[in-house]
Structure 1
């Protein structure tokens, strides 16, 4: 049978009060907690509970421990690192990073990797003899008469406008009123400031933004910002051993039992006296985590927050988020030459941008027989739908004679990074949505970091999280 209110009060402590019991999201959890499980729950007391063990959650947990605080990291996957995902080819032992591939050249980034003795180098992903082919993935046929535009003039115009908003590098601390240009659909911004020649570059660098030309310019600026432009000049960083997940394996080893993998929160009370209570289901059963504060790093979509005692303000704000979809993987048996990158370039569309949902590109990995694929969508799609569409694109190229028809294309690995870009309508931005979102810091003993509070960029999220540490350790 499901856990009763009386039993919840007994586990969480009478000080929580009956009103709190009514807020606990027990019935919203994926699997109800039985009375027997709850009665046998192991009690774990920590200074801070970190929800999510991706790039941001892992960084926060280690830094908090360095500051002398005890932590528990609750991660639903069987590994740390989130969007940093590395495939190891069983035939060669070679590594292919299919998620996060580069970082900003910043002192914080260099110090973070040095902390775990993971050497860095300037990123260079040129494959010897690599060639590119422009193909309209809707037909599978090469696009004739098209060459990538020189983005220089467009980037200069873009950078000039972006420089007017330096505060975007630190979060969503927007002025009131919000500048009108930030609310423009990016396609209108492009025409207004003659950014046209840079659109293809921004589209391909800012993969995962969904329909780029319709997104409010604010989100494009957040994704393709000032420090991105700086690093395009000085060079991004990647790991010398070409295994970006090494950092997270070492962090996992250091965290030890403080990293609760394959675990989910099934109930929460963030209004207990002097601490928050979390009922967590994991491989070893049910644990009761008692923490002074919570740090949330997961995407704050309401579906992701099942089991948490989301209050009226949080529900109103988080319920406005919509998201794009982003997917990546490694293909084998495609018939595509090992040195060939096939870019999705559409015929008869603005700036030749491919309609989404669709593939961004299929590109060499440097490992014989393996190609990386990137796929985007304006909204969430089931993994099986994305996989089927990618394979259908390859079949169209084969039918058109664009690539060799031999071999059986299949996925060596596939990863969904969805929900990806979290956005709200321009009307909400103008009405002060992000002021209200920022005001949630510290509300209900909870602090927030992650892409929805800044941007999809590990380096910049580490900086953002660093700025929260004084409040978390106070």
Structure 2
């Protein structure tokens, strides 16, 4: 039975946090059950129905790449993105005083043909990234006390990186996804701290921790996830050099992709309900700034983190819901601070006093470092679990204050010029699930219920490698 217009308005206002997993009868408070929600298609006029070959859920790195490439392959697309921009973790701040730009999300990419071709398609020039900052002063501080860590100097990881690379070389398939053998190699299931001890790799821990920000509690993570994050191509790029944009505006790529997609990019929009059982296509009910729309698509490409509370409105079956329910996640936050009192050429890195490998305690600041714009400092913060933005900001400000209280740096009371949550970040499952074939079952979802998946949960938090993963999947999506 169809819904009244009053019902449609009620549906449009339903809380995005309410889970509406209709096939399982898991409709949350304030959400209409899935069948009733989709029955309103007869209420909406033809001008509210968008017919496309593929609907892409999420406009981050993988969603944008998938959408543009599918169009190149002759397919019509619609991208559904909750933010007011494309790019996801790629976030660029423009300083109103100087016009200078600072990337506070994705900073670099791999030196790979797919990366160069992708940027060249939008006429965005690339250059080798430089991590050298002449005149940089570094302080190594335990942010719990604000005091400098006595006797600390960064270790030389060179020899340990070679030994680490020898271990990675045993698992080349990790560079392409989660196609794990059965049984899963025992070393991949070890907590990384145990793996480090087993192979005497302590000198590389600090390097991996700093590079793999967002992994949460590094030493407790299964080695599998560390290898995925800090893999063979990362080691290669440490030698040949990473890429960044010559105009130092990493969001330019996504601005140009947005212009090309035009009305096919539905920004500030969210999925309200889906029906993937419709004959010949899937129906996706979407709340957009201009009202409710129905997207009729032959296939879906889901690029958002597949956690149940992030899949509001999806008609998940028992297999899908059972797998996605197992995901936990870490959290990662970035921003820019004004008026810190920290000199423009000073980086203050969080180092644990008396901790294993001097790793800082998390939740906590990774570092506060120069942005390249006078008066602005970058801040990076991580946690093994999700936190409110309010609590993260408060902890950052408290850490800056402790630097002054301890007499380490004469800081002031700063304010946030911009703050960005990149959470949920690393999606992981328990070791037992990995051992019992979780990732084989996850991979088997590709194509099920007209739906394909890409994004970090299916590979790793690395735009370059995700573009390769997505490119390999495109022939199946376009078939």
Structure 1 Cα separation of the partners of residues 397 and 114 of structure 2: 40
Deviations 1:11-58 (A, max 9, x none): xxxxxxxxx995398954977679999723500000000000001000
Deviates more, 1:120-129 or 1:367-376: 120-129
Specify the alignment match of 1:239 in structure 2: 245
Structure 2 Cα separation of the partners of residues 100 and 359 of structure 1: 18
Structure 2 Cα separation of the partners of residues 345 and 21 of structure 1: 44
Specify the alignment match of 1:266 in structure 2: 272
Provide the secondary structure at the position in 2 that maps to 1:271: coil
Provide the secondary structure at the position in 1 that maps to 2:114: helix
Match of 1:84 among 55, 78, 90: 90
Task: Assess if the C-alpha contact under 8 Å between 1:269 and 1:278 holds in 2.
Answer: yes
Provide the secondary structure at the position in 1 that maps to 2:277: strand
Deviations 1:310-335 (A, max 9, x none): 11001110000000000000011101
Structure 1 Cα separation of the partners of residues 30 and 396 of structure 2: 31
Specify the alignment match of 2:11 in structure 1: none
Structure 1 Cα separation of the partners of residues 118 and 23 of structure 2: 39
Which structure 1 residue ranges, 5 or more long, are not aligned? 9-19
Deviations 1:429-463 (A, max 9, x none): 00000000000000000000000000000000000
Match of 2:467 among 446, 462, 465: 462
Specify the alignment match of 2:23 in structure 1: 23
Specify the alignment match of 2:457 in structure 1: 452
Cα distance, 1:154 vs structure 2? 1.3
Structure 2 Cα separation of the partners of residues 352 and 170 of structure 1: 32
Cα distance, 1:131 vs structure 2? 1.3
The within-5 A match list for 1:159-198 is: 159-198=165-204
Specify the alignment match of 2:401 in structure 1: 395
Structure 2 Cα separation of the partners of residues 424 and 350 of structure 1: 24
* CA 309–240 in structure 1, closer or farther in 2 if over 3 Å, else same: same
Question: Are 1:156 and 2:159 counterparts?
Answer: no
Match of 2:421 among 413, 416, 420: 416
* CA 24–75 in structure 1, closer or farther in 2 if over 3 Å, else same: farther
Specify the alignment match of 1:111 in structure 2: 117
Cα distance, 1:144 vs structure 2? 1.4
Specify the alignment match of 2:285 in structure 1: 279
Match of 1:142 among 148, 164, 172: 148
Cα distance, 1:262 vs structure 2? 0.3
Task: Assess if the C-alpha contact under 8 Å between 1:101 and 1:238 holds in 2.
Answer: yes
Cα distance, 1:155 vs structure 2? 0.7
Match of 1:294 among 271, 295, 300: 300
Structure 1 Cα separation of the partners of residues 268 and 188 of structure 2: 40
Provide the secondary structure at the position in 2 that maps to 1:59: helix
* CA 167–385 in structure 1, closer or farther in 2 if over 3 Å, else same: same
Give the CA RMSD over aligned residues. 2.1
Provide the secondary structure at the position in 1 that maps to 2:400: helix
Specify the alignment match of 1:443 in structure 2: 448
Task: Assess if the C-alpha contact under 8 Å between 1:38 and 1:286 holds in 2.
Answer: no
Task: Assess if the C-alpha contact under 8 Å between 2:350 and 2:366 holds in 1.
Answer: yes
Provide the secondary structure at the position in 1 that maps to 2:352: coil
Match of 1:120 among 109, 126, 135: 126
Provide the secondary structure at the position in 2 that maps to 1:272: coil
Structure 1 Cα separation of the partners of residues 426 and 202 of structure 2: 23
Provide the secondary structure at the position in 1 that maps to 2:276: strand
Specify the alignment match of 2:43 in structure 1: 39
Task: Assess if the C-alpha contact under 8 Å between 1:359 and 1:373 holds in 2.
Answer: yes
Match of 2:434 among 413, 429, 434: 429
Match of 1:99 among 93, 96, 105: 105
Question: Are 1:363 and 2:369 counterparts?
Answer: yes
Structure 1 Cα separation of the partners of residues 119 and 129 of structure 2: 15
Q: TM-score, normalised by structure 2?
A: 0.93
Match of 1:380 among 375, 382, 386: 386
Structure 2 Cα separation of the partners of residues 466 and 425 of structure 1: 29
Structure 1 Cα separation of the partners of residues 70 and 173 of structure 2: 26
Task: Assess if the C-alpha contact under 8 Å between 1:329 and 1:414 holds in 2.
Answer: yes
